[in-house]
Each structure stands twice: as structure tokens, then as C-alpha cells.
Structure 1
Amino acid sequence: MVRNFYIADIITLMNGVCGVQSVFASMRYLVTNDAADLYRAMCFMPFGLLFDFFDGRVARWRNNSSLLGQELDSLADLISFGMAPAALAYAIGMQTFLDTAVLTYFVCCGIARLARYNATVAMAPKDDTGKISYFEGTPIPTSLTIIALFAYFLSNDKYLEALPGQLITFGEDWEFHPLVLVYALSGTLMISKTLRIPKP
């Protein structure tokens, strides 16, 4: 199968590699408690975005895009911009039942967003070069804005337990971190039917 890969497909796989390494770095932090692992987890995601940026351009430049490449792109994006940000949130401390419910919602929104894109891309309006005109809902890489927020907090030595409104408790057993709601917002924007983002 690998012999049938185009150069663009290899670049797409590198996006997936970055996502997997980010998840592993987040998992490693849970063992080592070393902030360097959190920084590694965050750094792999923008590198994934770089590969995601170039794979489509290389495919169009070489005029050899394929359905396989489209599917590879979506799966790699799901890891790098769906699972990796959720794993980072869990590693940082969003580990209550309600936290994980919101993070699961976020990942499921990413799955739905990518599936909808793949199912409708053939019918979407395109320009003369074959590029679609707009995204329906925010693209899944916009989840990196959350990572930028975390990077800002960590660079100022502000960990989850030191942030305002760090943990809300209600009832006897229910707790959640308000910061996890940014994931809920991000996921909801991804699956929006009315929000249209012009494609650069």
C-alpha cells in the first residue's frame, strides 16, 4: 500500500506522527510531572499544522491528490487537533467525570466535522484551482487556539490549580473545571451549520 502513496500522503502522515507524539508526551507528563513534557506535547501540534498546511499544496502542485489522501488528512487531523488537545487537557488536570464528558464531546465534534467535510467536499463550491471557497463550521485545527492559551498560562507558571475559577463543585460528587468549557465552545463551532469560514 505504501508504494501507492504520493509525496503529499507522506507529508500528511507526518501530521499524524506529530499528533501521536503529542499524545505520548501528555501521557508521559502524568508519569514524570515534568513540565517539559507538557511543552513537548504543545509543540508537536503546531508542527502537525505545518504538515497539514503543506500536504494539500503539494498535492495540487503535483496534481496527484487522491481519495486516500483526503481520508489520511482527516484521520491525521483528528489525532493532531482532536485527540492531542483533549489528552493535553486531561494531563494538565481536567480529569473529573464532567471534564472528560466535555472533552469527549469535543473529540466527537471533531469526528463529525471531518466526516461532514469528507461527505460534502465534492459538492462544495470551488474556485478555478479546485480549492473550496469556504469551510462549514470552524476547521478542526482552530483547536490550537486553546493550546496557545495553555502555553501562555504555563509560560507564566500558572498551572490549572492556580487559575481563577479553578474548580467548581456542586452537589456531593459533581466537579468540573470552568476552563474545560473552551473545549465545548470549540467543538460546537466546528459542527455549526450556519458558520462559514472563507478558506485561505
Structure 2
Amino acid sequence: MPGTSPDLTNPTSTGPAQVSSKAAAPIASPEGAAKALASRRESVTASKEKAGELAVDPKALKQFVEDGGHFSLVRNFRLADLVTLGNGFCGSLSLFSSARYLLTSDPKYLWQALAFPLAGMIFDALDGKVARWRNESSMLGQELDSLADSISFGVAPAMAAFCIGLRTPTDTAFLTVFICAGIARLARFNATVALVPKDETGKSKYFEGMPIPSSLFLVGIMAYCVRNGWIEGPGGRGLGLPGGLVVPLKEALGIDVHYGSLVFLFWASLMISKTLRIPKF
């Protein structure tokens, strides 16, 4: 009625309520959030070949999130996580060895740079076995694995390729594309592995795109070139590499690019491919 103040405590609806999806969404409790993350973790972990069927304990996840101590990250590491860090450790040593080779021209450092990614692969294969042996899993396991792989099988091989002679601006651009493709491939795996068809054991039937550890094949090719002297020293342009520069591109467009860097570019395309499916054995 006129002159009557509206009832603010019980407003009358004049039409369909316009509520945003975020406002309408239920607010998860800490326990619910922990269970949701653990559920995602279980589906991802079960799909990784090397992780088997290990499950993440929601209580351990909650403890990890709520632990506010200064060294809580270290305290929550599992033995398998330390093994995974060994992979990243080897990749880092490979980078430093490449740098020492560029500073000293001592071939022993180049051989070390090519050997450390192989050692990283050993750690990468062992961490899942250690997790099954200890019958435990970690919330950080998959993230650590992807980050370590990006160093040992992405950045380290690209730096070694730079050392043996792929040093033109176009070469370095292609090597950068190779690194970024490896990172993107790892991110896609983490995000979509739960959607890949599984076998009766719960493991993914195939990889989408070339797995980044396959870059060890390129490391083997580089080692073969080093053994036969088909490289260029730190001060050279890399004309001693097999095939040398792509002459048609140089004559037509003035672009200095080596055939070797085209191999890395091709490998990058394999890693980010959606249609390429590599069966798991």
C-alpha cells in the first residue's frame, strides 16, 4: 500500500532471480576441497605408467596444505620425490657442463652435458618403482616429475645442441620452440591424462604426442656427431655440422639455419601433435 515501507527482510521477487554461476556455486569446505584434489590426483596418478595404482591420502593432502612451518615443503617430501629431484639435478648439471664447454672448449664437459640427461632418465624411471616399493604417493609427485622432465629432456638437450654448433639466430629460435613445445606437451599430459582411454589396469593406452623423454634420441645423435668430430667449436658458426646450412633458404631469404635445427623443429611438432598416438608398452 502507498506509504508503507517495503519489507527489506523478505523482499518480493518480481521475476526470475538473476544469480551468477559463481554465486550459485556451493562453497567447498576444506575437507571437500582436499577430497576433490585427491580424487583428481588419484585419476592422474593411476594413468601414469610409472606410478601404478598408488592413491593419495586426503589426510596427507590436508596436512600438507595446513602445515605452515618454514620447512614444511621438505618435511612433506617422500623418498620418490627425492628420486624425481635427482632427475632435475642431472638436467641442471648438464646445463652447467654445457656452459663450461663453451668457456673452456674442453670436450669432456660436452660429453658430460650429453651424459647427464641419460642419468636423469634413470631417475625418471626409478621414482615410480620407489613409490610402489614404499607404498606411498605424494601430492607434489606429478608436478615435480613434469618440471624435472622439462629441464633434463627439454632445456638440457637444446643447450647441448647450441654447444655443438646450432648458434645462428634462427637456430636458437627453433631450439626455443623445441623447449616450449616440450613444456606444452607436459602441461597437456597433466591436464588431459584422465581423459585418455585406459586399459583394464587403469593405465593410459597411449601417449598423445611424442613423450618429451624421447629427446634422448636426439641426444644420441649429437653424441654420435661429437664422436665423429661433426661439430664446431665454441668460437665457430657450426659449419662442420652434418649438412651445414640450408643453402636454399640462405640464397632465397638470407636466413642462416642448419639442417640440425630443422630436426629439433620437427621433433617439437611431434611432441605437440594431437593425432600422433604412441602406444605404451
TM-score normalized with structure 2 length: 0.67
Change over 3 Å in CA distance of 1:69–1:162 after alignment to 2 = same
Partner Cα separation in structure 1 for residue 242 and residue 145 of structure 2: 37
Task: Report the alpha carbon displacement of residue 93 of structure 1 after superposing the two structures with TM.
Answer: 1.7
Residue equivalent to 1:26:
98
Residue equivalent to 1:86:
158
1:116-171 alpha-carbon deviations (Å, 9 max, x no partner): 00001223333444432211111000011111011111112222433342123346
Alignment of 1:137-176 (within 5 A): 137-160=209-232, 161-168=239-246, 169-170=250-251, 174-176=255-257
Name the SS for the 1:73 alignment partner. helix
Partner Cα separation in structure 2 for residue 198 and residue 67 of structure 1: 27
Identity %: 56
1:107 aligns with 2:179: yes
Of structures 1 and 2, the larger Rg is shown by 2
Name the SS for the 1:158 alignment partner. coil
Partner Cα separation in structure 2 for residue 132 and residue 91 of structure 1: 37
Residue equivalent to 2:15:
none
Q: Mind listing any 5+ residue stretches in structure 1 that lack a counterpart?
A: none
Name the SS for the 2:194 alignment partner. coil
Contact 2:77–2:138 (Cα < 8 Å) also in 1? no
Name the SS for the 1:135 alignment partner. strand
Residue equivalent to 2:16:
none
TM-score normalized with structure 1 length: 0.93
Residue equivalent to 1:59:
131
Structure whose residues are more often helix by fraction: 1
- Select the structure with the greater relative contact order (CA < 8 A; seq sep ≥ 6): 1
Partner Cα separation in structure 1 for residue 119 and residue 242 of structure 2: 30
Over 4 Å off, 4+ runs: none
Name the SS for the 1:95 alignment partner. coil
Residue equivalent to 2:192:
120
**Among 116, 141, 144, the residue aligned to 1:44:** 116
Partner Cα separation in structure 2 for residue 128 and residue 54 of structure 1: 24
- Give 2:163's aligned amino acid: A
Residue equivalent to 1:7:
79
